[in-house]
Amino acid sequence: YKLGENGEQLYDSLGNKVIENYHRFIPDLQDGSTWIAMGYIFFGIIILIILEWYGRNTKSKVKPKL
């Protein structure tokens, strides 16, 4: 953790300890690999939506056995 001039730990505005040498990662939208990763995420979401729709439609057509 990051230490102040007095050797005490530093805290942010929320009261959390400040981590030394920590940098947030913000993806670069100019990079092709970022768009490929986002494409896979959207593709997965579309597959889930289609499977849910298919499950609801086939479930309603199946007659229960008595």
Tens digit of each residue's pLDDT (9 = 90 or more) over 11-36: 989 999 988 888 888 999 999 999 99
Q: What is the mean pLDDT of residues 32-41?
A: 97
Q: What is the mean pLDDT of residues 3-13?
A: 89
Give CA–CA dist 3/5, Å, rounded.
Answer: 7
Give CA–CA dist 63/65, Å, rounded.
Answer: 6
Task: Look up residue 34 and give its two tokens.
Answer: 């970022």
Give CA–CA dist 20/4, Å, rounded.
Answer: 11
pLDDT of 38 reads 97
Q: If pLDDT is split at 50, 70 and 90, which confidence band does 64 have?
A: low
Please tell me which residue, 59 or 31, carries the higher pLDDT value. Answer: 31
Domain boundaries, the chain: 3-60
Model's pTM, two decimal places?
0.57
